[in-house]
Every structure is written in structure tokens, then in C-alpha cells.
Amino acid sequence: MEHVMDKVKVGIADLNVVRQPQKISTSGLGSCVGLVLYDEQQVLAGLVHVMLPDSSLSRTEVTKPGKFADTGINALIKLMEEKGSIKCNLKAKMAGGAQMFNLASKNENMRIGHKNIVAIEKILTHESIPILSKDVGGHKGRSIEFDTDTNLLKIRTVYEGVTYI
Amino acid sequence: MTELSKFSQIHLDLLKEIGNIGAGNATTALSNLLNTPIHMNVPVVNIVSFDDAMNLAGGAEEVQAALLVEFEGEFSGNVFFLISPENADQFVQMLTQDPNQSLLSDDNDIAISAFLELGNILTGSYLRALSDFISANLYQLVPNAAIDMVGALISQGLIETSTVSDQVILIETVLSSDQLDDEIKGHFFLLPDPGAFHRIFELLGVQ
């Protein structure tokens, strides 16, 4: 007997897909971005927890595609297509990409949140997937959960409570 | 050396000793500053996935007060000091001698700067001990404080590592004090950047 969890949690640099009535979530997004792709026809939703904007930053073989915006989005679209989605039916919602600390170093990693957002938007434009709503940037951590019944993305922050986009 | 699985027990023991010396020095500095006994446990060195790193720090959604200090020099990395906001307030109140100071209040400028000063002293003594021990020239940058979800905070320290690995080496030390009203517990995490390990072992004469 197959037991279907009502909620699937996606870890950092990971990705997964759920079907209605399951929910999909990820927690503790800082500079990382949680990108949800969903398909209303198939009532499918996928989530990828992106850490870095591009797989060219990787100095080793990429073993976790969800870590990077480019490989993560590709892998997520592929997984959703395997489950019956057609790319032109996909829509996107996203949250995250904050800057948690005002770092002093000249380190490029400081603005990694912003770079993640820009990279994801560029790829989605290229793939012709519309972004219906987003809550990005700022200086706050976010936990998100996507509901396949309502297609709403629930966003929880420490100081501002819960919002839906 | 970027393949963490190639580390032997000797390597891990050395990293543990680094944590021991660093946190030991920091504990003494904190103890002197607050004029109260502070204890530390034996450091634990963990090679863990990013998700497990969050779990070790209390879970991705757990709210913590964090100090982040980057260091540069012969090698680079980050030191995190994580403590619950309530515990941090106790330190802040001792340091400012004002029982109304709180990091969670709206008017928290003084509390934040006291917390940052605490961080400066803690991580400064940690890094000084570390650089003395391995005779490496390390200097710390300006400390940063934030109070938010652990996952959001710690992931900043994982970015550099994430370009070469799906795992991270966490050198963790817990500080505690039973002399205060509530038990205080703080976590030190040393996250050397991936290239740092090779240099550390080289400086210590271990292959």
C-alpha cells in the first residue's frame, strides 16, 4: 500500500514535485530562493530550493542540480514533464533572495540573493514561464508552502507573520 | 583537498583541537568580560549535509540571534556564534547593566551594539587562538548580527563551500553557564572555506 504524505518538504539545494492535494514546502530561505512551478491542468506543483545562480560556479561535478538556478529549473521542468505537464502550461511563484548580513568583505557572495533572483527571472523569461507573484529581496528569512488546492504560496517570516501571494 | 570523505581521524582530531583552542580562549574572554564562570564542552567536528547543518543549529526555522564574522588572510572562512534571543539578552543586560535592554524590542540599537561588541570579543579571541596555534596570519572583518531563522542565517556561511561540495565541515562548540537565572547555551560554528583545509593541514605538517 502506498502511503501519500500530505506535505512534502524540500531541503536546501533540492527539488521535488507533488500532486493535489499534497502541499510542498521549504524552510529557512535566506539568500536562497524557493521557486515554485505549477500546472493547473495537471494539478502538479514543483519546488526547487536554489542556492547559487549558475552551475558554472561549481568547481566539481554537479551532483545536486537543485543547488543552481540553471540546472535546478531544467531538472524541475523535466520532472514535471515526466509527470504529464506541458511546459507552456507552467506558471511560477517565488520567494527568498534576501541579504541576511551586511558583510564587509568584497566577497561576491554578499549579493548572492540578488544574483539568484536575477538568474531565475532570466531563465524563466527564456523558457516563457510567467512569474505570477513573488516576494523577494529584503533582509528577512522566509519559509514557504505551496497549496495545490488554491495555488497560493504561503510565506512565513519571523517579524511579519504569514502572507499569501 | 576538497573531498571531505578523504579526511582521516587525525585530520578530524586536529580540527577538533582547533575548535578547542579557539573556543577555550573565547570562553575565557567572555567569562572575564561578564565576570561570571562560563563553561564549554569538548568540540564536535561534523561532516554533514547542508540540511543536517541546519538541524545541528536547531532546525531551519528556529529563531536564533547570530553573529557572523568573516575572516581572511592565509585562508578564509566564517565564524558563527548562535544563541537564543532570550539568552543573548541576558548577556546584553549584563554587559550594559540595564535589565531593560532586549534584542527583540523595537528600540534595540544599544542591545544590538552590545551584542556586536560581545561578538567582536568572542570571535576575536577565537580567531587569535586559532592563528597562534597554526601560525597563520588571519584577520577578522567587522562582525554582523541578525536575528532570524537559522536556515536563512547559516546558509550564508555555506555558499562558498557549496561551490565545491554538498557537505560541510562544522566545528561546533557549546558554551554554557549555570550561574545565571536561566541556563545559557551558545553555539560556535567554524566554517573554513573549502580551500582552507589543505592550508590548515599543511601548516600543521599533516598530509
pLDDT in tens, B160-190: 888 888 888 777 878 887 766 666 778 888 8
Q: Which residues of B touch chain A, with CB atoms under 8 Å apart?
A: 2, 49-51, 54, 60-61, 63, 68, 70, 72, 141-142, 144, 146-153, 155-156, 158-160, 162-166
**A105 → chain B, closest CA residue:** B141
Q: Which residue of A9, A10, A12 to mutate against B (max B Cβ within 10 Å)? A: A12
Provide the ipTM. Answer: 0.87
The residue assigned the cell 543536517 is: B52
Query: pLDDT tens for residues B134-159?
Result: 888 888 888 888 999 999 998 888 88
Beta bridge partners of B169: B47
| Inter-chain CB pairs, A–B, below 8 Å | 108
Measured in angstroms, the CA of A86 and the nearest CA of chain B are apart by 31
Domains of chain B (ranges, CATH numbers): 27-203 (3.40.1550.10)
Q: Which chain B residue's Cα is nearest to A11?
A: B51
Among all chains, which residue has been given the C-alpha cell 557537505? B167
Q: Pick from A27, A52, A106, A159 the residue to mutate for testing the B interface (most B CBs within 10 Å).
A: A27
Provide Rg for chain B, Cα atoms: 16
Distance from CA of A3 to the nearest CA of B (A): 24
B141 chain-A contacts, CB cut-off 8 A: 103-105
In a 10 Å sphere around its CB, with 0-12 CB exposed, 13-18 middle and 19+ buried, how is residue A159 labelled? exposed
Would you call A88 a catalytic residue per the annotation? no
Element (H, E) at A139: none
For an interface test with B, the pick among A9, A101, A144 (most B C-beta atoms closer than 10 Å) comes out as: A101
- The residue among B195 and B61 whose pLDDT is bigger is B61
Distance, CA of B196 to CA of B189 (rounded, Å): 15
Grid coordinates representing B161?
A: 563551500
Residue B4, pLDDT above cutoff 80: no
- Least confident range of A54-63, B80-89, B111-120: A54-63
Q: How far apart are CA A82 and CA A87, in angstroms?
A: 11
Using left for φ > 0, alpha for ψ between -120 and 50, and beta otherwise, residue A33 falls in beta
Do the Cβ atoms of B156 and A100 come within 8 Å? yes
Looking at the complex, report in whole angstroms how far the Cα of residue A74 sits from the nearest Cα belonging to chain B: 19
Environment class of A98 (CB within 10 Å of its CB; exposed 0-12, middle 13-18, buried 19+): buried
Number of other CB atoms surrounding residue A56 within 10 Å: 10
Predicted confidence at residue B1, as pLDDT, reads: 41
- Residue A44 confidence class, pLDDT cut points 50, 70, 90: very high
pLDDT tens-place string over residues B98-129: 888 898 888 888 999 999 988 888 888 888 88
Q: Which amino acid is at A48?
A: V
Q: Which residue of A has its CA nearest to B106?
A: A159
| Closest B-chain CA to A143 | B61
B158–A51 C-beta distance less than 8 A: yes
At residue B106, φ and ψ (nearest 5 deg) are -65, -40
Q: What is the CATH number of domain A7-164?
A: 3.30.1330.200
Contacts of A142 in chain B (CB under 8 A): 149, 152
Catalytic residue among A13, A15, A18, A32: A32
List residues bridging with B66 in a β-sheet.
Answer: B82, B146
Q: Minimal Cα–Cα distance from A110 to chain B, Å?
A: 8
Report the residue from A67, A100, A139 with minimal CB separation from B162. Answer: A67
CA-CA-CA-CA torsion sign (A113, A116, A122, A128): negative
The whole-number pLDDT of residue A142 equals: 96
Residue B27 pLDDT: 85
